[in-house]
Amino acid sequence: MESQTPGGQGRAEKPAPAAARPGLSSLGAVFILLKSALGAGLLNFPWAFHKAGGVAPALLVEMVSLIFLISGLVILGYAASVSGQATYQGVVGGLCGPTIGKLCEACFIVNLLMISVAFLRVIGDQLDKLCDFLLPGAPPAWYTDQRFTLTLLSLLLVLPLSAPREIGFQKYTSILGTLAACYLALVVVAQYYLGPPGLAPEPRPAVSPPSWTSVFSVFPTICFGFQCHEAAVSIYCSMSNQSLWHWALVSVLSLLACCLVYSLTGLYGFLTFGAEVSADILMSYPGSDGVIVVARVLFAVSIVTVYPIVLFLGRSVMQDFWRRGCCPACGPRALVEPSEPWVRMPLTVLWVTVTLTMALFLPDLSEIIGIIGGISSFFIFIFPGLCLICAISVEPIRPRVKCCLEAWGVVSVLVGTFIFGQSTVEAVLELL
């Protein structure tokens, strides 16, 4: 399949692998893609507006990023149709070769693991605030400790939602999670006009960025917020209509809706608190405000619904490892399909256990946001750019069009390399 090239058929109409065939509607694809992006990054956007130096530079960076974000999704759909693979890492390995494929798998598993840890940590923080609201002034107790509440939530809710075999199941929880994220954005907007208790009615004036590097430093936050590209191939291959133009429409609608929610939250959160905005916007509001408490609960629900999508993608990499390594060694007595419950469920339990343990002992969530955003640049910019360059080399495309697409692929790779390098250097300097 890796070497499959199109003949007389249109490149967007190639059938997906049998294991990934049909079922997902366009609306379901929009909601899953949207919910994959509407995650914990929503809490960081007001802080990113401050870090960029104000509203104008932050919105400019966001709009420029949006071009590459949409382009990356479209490229991944095109690359999936050319390669015939049903997973992100399979597409990269099939088009770019085994070496780049193994690099993709390593980055993929590390990035998704850290994202899962960040999600659980965010849920745990909201549970702590909820316990403080429900039991004001009460002495610490074992049933209010995050180690108990987060573990219980993971067992009763996160693990069952992560068990299904197909990603299409997540369209139901994704609708609920999207509405919960939208509620947070509406609360931030409303609190700006109503005025949170204890805050001055006039926001502090925005300041100009101290240097051009401050503007570029928000790219990792944007990458962390908009990262849905890891799920793009799985969603595309699960759709009943897999034409490239249809996928492009789904990508545009999803990211425009996501951009609207992020922009409203970032803009009004920054205008409300100015330079004093917290890295977690919910931490800037009074803990006793009932509206904010509801926002905390619903946002925790939102993160709970996106965690299974991330786990599904990480589990697919581990299932590939099982298929390549364990199945041949197990012989004919073994079930060679790693998506069967006897393999899928232990991998799911292992993923939840490892990420839960890391989340409970992680000292500070803010320290890994930049690192996650930097690694995400591989999946948003670098790997899609490489896939585009490799895919058009086996496609019958007019020379002028091929030249333009190759140039865009090179630009995408260079931009992603710059973002990764800049975010890595910044993270290292902060640790030192």
Tell me, what CATH number does 377's domain have? 1.10.4160.10
Question: How many CA within 13 A on the CB side of residue 323?
Answer: 12
pLDDT at residue 418 tops 80: yes
Asked if the structure places residue 317 within a domain, the reply is: yes
| Contact (Cβ atoms closer than 8 angstroms) between residue 338 and residue 383 | no
**Per the domain annotation, does 14 fall within a domain?**
no
Mean pLDDT score across all residues of the chain: 80
d(CA 74, CA 72): 6
What pLDDT score was predicted for residue 292?
85
Dihedral over Cα of 176, 177, 181, 184: its sign: positive
Amino acid at 292: I
Q: Tell whether 10 is covered by a domain.
A: no
Position 8 in a domain:
no
Q: What domain count does the chain have?
A: 1
Residue 162 domain-assigned (yes or no): yes
Global model pTM greater than 0.85: no
On whether residue 1 sits in a domain, the answer given is: no
pLDDT at 219: 81
Q: Which residue has the tokens 């408490």?
A: 293
- pLDDT tens digits along 297-307: 888 888 888 88
Residue % of the chain over a pLDDT of 70: 81
What tokens appear for 317 in the block? 């990499």
The verdict on residue 13 lying in a domain is: no
CB atoms within 10 A of CB 430: 10
DSSP 173-201: HHHHHHHHHHHHHHHHHHHHHH--TTS-S
Task: Name the range with the highest mean pLDDT among 184-188, 303-307, 336-340.
Answer: 184-188
Q: Is residue 220 part of a domain?
A: yes
pLDDT, tens only, 27-78: 888 888 887 888 778 888 898 888 888 888 888 888 988 999 999 999 999 9
Neighbour count for residue 286 (Cβ, 10 Å): 11
Q: Write down the pLDDT at residue 263.
A: 93
Return the pLDDT at 349. Answer: 92
- Span 376-390, pLDDT tens digits: 889 999 999 999 999
Cα–Cα nearest to 48, from 223, 256, 253 = 223
Annotate 204-225 with DSSP letters as a single string: PPP---SSHHHHHTTHHHHHHH
Going 94 to 100 to 102 to 104, the CA torsion angle's sign is negative
Residue 262 confidence class, pLDDT cut points 50, 70, 90: very high
Going by the DSSP 8-state scheme, the letter that residue 239 receives in this structure is B
- Parent domain of 360: 26-431
